[in-house]
Structure 1
Amino acid sequence: MASLKDISKICGVSVATVSKALNDHKDIGEETKANIRRVAKEMGYSPNLSARALKTNRTYGIGVLFVDEAQSGLTHDYFSSVLDSFKRTAEKSGYDITFINSCKNRSDRMSYLEHSRYRGFDGVVLACIDFADPEVIELVQSSIPVVTIDYLFNNRIAIMSDNVAGMKELLEYIYSRGHRKIAYIHGAMSAVTSGRLSSFYRTAERLGLQIPDEYIREAAYRDTTTTYRVTNELLDLPDPPTCIIYPDDFASFGGINAIRERGLQIPEDISVAGYDGIQSARQLEPRLTTVQQDTEQIGCLAARELISLIERPKTTIIEQVIVPGKVVEGKSVAQIPTDK
């Protein structure tokens, strides 16, 4: 196997220059870097990871803790997109990604913290997990660098989609289309849900909307069975809403099925809106109006912040990073006449 010394002889530079070039140091010219990398590749050079770990006191491994209530795994459109961006960003910086064992049915399983230490992870990202789980809290309170996505812990970096602004802009859009009877089926209570629900009520109050208690319902995220049932309950009210906002795009599929089974048309008879901006919802007819979250930016920032925390712990600021989304106007919210 080729060594740094072998590469230095071919390139006519020092071993130190080869090492710096392969580690993308800024004091080496781009042309020199490109030549050294080309020669290293041609010679089949690969770094000795054990030696690298000893030298840097890092394994260049990052753990991912991801478990959603619906057990949808990486078919979860929103988080799979976030984690894909996270993975690509981390790998560009030379880190490998490994999922932390979350199967609690195994008799020989380790806790999240034990698994992280066993694997020697330099850091861990937490997404779509039960943040109240004692094992999660144990991991968060450990010395391992941690970044959370869509959840805020004290003294931990969090990457958050701007749920407050997202719901505000969505409700304002629906209001601008003439709707005054607007129902909201929110997700199970969490930091995300709390932000959206408070923003919904605050925006409704500012707009002068009266929101009856029966217009506010709950269904777990991605739970099409419950949104199917709750949609029917809303439509059976003596004074039903003209528009229903769903917890997320995927959950809206259950509500849309309930509406269509009644022979009702969207948006002519009832309007609907989602949240997330997932790819599959873009294929619906009529196209779903939704809040598109910037999954690319959320994943990228989570990786950058975690790597910064790993490599520069003394200078990395522990903060909450808010990532804005945007309302994507589809064809599922009708324009209706209004006196206001």
Structure 2
Amino acid sequence: MPEMTIKELARICGVAVSTVSRAMNDRSDVNPETRARIRAAAAQYGYVPNSSARRLKIGTTKTISVFIQGEFGQLLVEVLQQLELAFAQAGYDTTISHVADPEHANAGTVERIVREGKFGGVVFLGRYGSADREASAQLSRRLAEIDVPMVFCTTPDYSGTAALHSSISVDDHAGARELTAHLAALGHRRIAFVGAGAEPDREHAWALRLAGYRAGLKDAGIAPDDALVVASAVEEQAYTMRNGYESVSRWLTTAPKDVTALVAVCDAAAIGASRALSEAGLSVPADVSLVGFDGLDIANYFVPRLTTIVQPVPEIAQSTARVLLATMDEPGRAIEQVWIRGRLVPGDSVRALT
């Protein structure tokens, strides 16, 4: 019989995972009756606490670890710089742990790194886990058993409806909806979306932005058309120029001829898409208008200057630092899911239709 996990024990007792952890560690901030009930259930079902996880708290330093998995793009660099500043102002050093291979981004790796470094808190910056939703959810649940405060930054917690970790992210849905509405207000009716993943998953950035695009079409009274949803050609590098280029290049061979605008999943993908359009003899914005998402610095120097949703990087970083530091001070505090609205910045990559 497999060993009972802390998640299963929490479900049996009808409490949060953090409550079980605190009860098993004799923390004073747990109601005595609740602590006794949890300990009795642990004995009944044979739950054995992860002693190595408990030891993580012993001798922790004034250092916070930022985990970055896979792609390390410009947006993450900018957020990281702001996080380092915010933590430094609070008296903490920051160290970076980059897991380049998504297959190695598992709870065991995280626990080993945290144990060796004795970090006081952890930030997951950018994507985590694999493209498979259930695998990511399992990773999130395993991470909850590591007794160190964690916050997800620029990505939500994939553990399910009852999130186990706080998260701070831009409002992807609202941003894509606003971009689509902007194009519709300028007379565009045949608007495509570039960068959809292979599986519908409402929690990934591309899926939230795709849903926002569809909502924007509905707001404008435009019927959706699956032929205008461009799938990612390079799923493991969804938010890259390469993916934008290869996706649009492939799609243009069968694309409807009446498309007048593209909503790219991000700025990098938009720039790649522009190259593909150019190679096909199409000009931006004379033939096709183009918008991105993120507000990367390169969008200001791209020709034509890209219309985009700018992510409020300082606000995202400050909110992440606030939530993590508060959780470090009060481990049992309520989970926060923070969505921050981006800002639409018009560029030269969109033209009004007459």
Q: TM-score, normalised by structure 1?
A: 0.74
Which residue of 310, 317, 324 maps to 1:292?
Answer: 310
Aligned residue in 2 for 1:273: 291
Q: Equivalents in 2 of 1:313, 1:230: separation in Å?
A: 44
3-state SS of the aligned residue for 1:100? strand
CA separation of 1:163/1:238 partners in 2, compared to 1, >3 Å: closer, same or farther?
closer
Q: Which residue of 2 aligns with 1:301?
A: 319
* Number of residue pairs the alignment of both structures matches: 274
Change over 3 Å in CA distance of 1:283–1:148 after alignment to 2:
same
1:184: which partner in 2?
193
Distance 1:280 1:88 in 2: 23
Which letter maps to 2:146? S
1:87 to 79, 84, 89: 84
Q: Return the match for 1:63 from 62, 65, 78.
A: 65
Report if aligned partners of 2:152, 2:168 keep a CA contact under 8 Å in 1.
yes
- Report deviation, 1:263: 3.2
- What CA distance in whole angstroms lies between the structure 2 residues aligned with 1:137 and 1:98? 24
> Please, which moves more after superposition, 259-268 or 292-301?
259-268
C-alpha root-mean-square deviation of aligned residues, in Å? 2.4
Separation of aligned partners in 2, 1:129 and 1:179: 32
Per the TM alignment, residue 122 of structure 1 is displaced from its structure 2 partner at its CA by 0.9
Say which SS state the counterpart of residue 99 (structure 2) adopts: coil
* Correspondence 1:213 to 2:226: yes
Give the direction of change, closer, same or farther, for the CA distance of 1:326–1:265 in structure 2 (3 Å limit): same
Contact 1:167/1:196, CA 8 A, preserved across alignment? yes
By how many angstroms is 1:202 displaced?
A: 2.2
Q: Where does residue 139 of structure 1 map in the other structure?
A: 143
- 1:164 maps to a residue whose letter is H
| SS of equivalent to 1:266 | coil
* Residue in structure 2 matching 1:130, options 124, 128, 131: 128
Hey, what does 2:74 align to over in structure 1? 77
CA distance in 2, matches of 1:254, 1:229: 8
2:152 counterpart residue number: 148
Q: Specify the structure having the higher radius of gyration (Cα).
A: 1
1:240 CA displacement: 3.7
Counterpart selection for 1:247 from 261, 265, 273:
265
**In the alignment, what sits opposite 1:31?**
none
- AA of the residue aligned to 1:193: W
- Give TM-score, length-normalised by structure 2: 0.71
Listed as ranges, the gaps of 5+ residues in structure 1 are 1-55
Distance 1:63 1:239, change over 3 A: same
Q: Secondary structure at the match of 1:299?
A: helix
AA partner of residue 60 (structure 1)? K
Could you report, residue by residue, the CA deviation over 1:273-321 in whole angstroms, capped at 9, with x for unpaired residues?
Answer: 111000011101111011111111111111111011112334x431111
Partner deviation per Cα, 1:129-148 (whole Å, 9 max, x = no partner): 33345656422432210000
| Corresponding residue for residue 202 of structure 1 | 215
Percent pairwise identity? 26
Q: Quick check: 2:79–2:317 contact (8 Å CA) kept in 1?
A: yes
Matched, 1:118 2:121: no
After TM superposition, give the deviation of residue 101 of structure 1 in Å. Answer: 5.5
Q: Is the 8 A contact 1:179 1:243 kept in 2?
A: yes
Residues 279 and 101 of structure 1: CA distance in aligned 2, closer, same or farther (over 3 Å): closer
Check whether the contact 2:230–2:248 (CA below 8 A) recurs between aligned residues: no
Match of 1:224? 241
Counterpart residue type for residue 91 of structure 2: G
Equivalent in the alignment of 2:170? 161
Using the alignment, how far apart are the partners of 1:223 and 1:324 within structure 2?
A: 23
Between 181-190 and 77-86, report the one with greater CA deviation: 181-190
One-letter amino acid of the counterpart of residue 174, structure 1? L
Determine if contact 2:294/2:309 at 8 Å carries over to the other structure: yes
Post-superposition CA distance 1:196-249 (Å, at most 9, x none): 222222221231112221110222433333322332344443434100111110
Alpha carbons of structure 1 residues 269 and 319: separation in structure 2 relative to 1, 3 Å: same
Q: Describe the shift of the 1:265–1:129 C-alpha distance in structure 2 as closer, same or farther (beyond 3 A).
A: closer
CA distance in 2 between counterparts of 1:271 and 1:208 reads 20
User: How far is 1:192 from its partner?
Assistant: 1.9
Amino acid at match of 1:183: A
3-state DSSP of counterpart to 1:264: coil
| Residue ranges of structure 2 left out of the alignment (5+ in a row) | 1-57, 130-134
Give SS of 1:116's match.
helix
Q: 1:185 and 1:238, CA in 2 relative to 1: closer, same or farther beyond 3 A?
A: closer
Contact 1:67-1:102 within 8 A present in 2 as well: yes
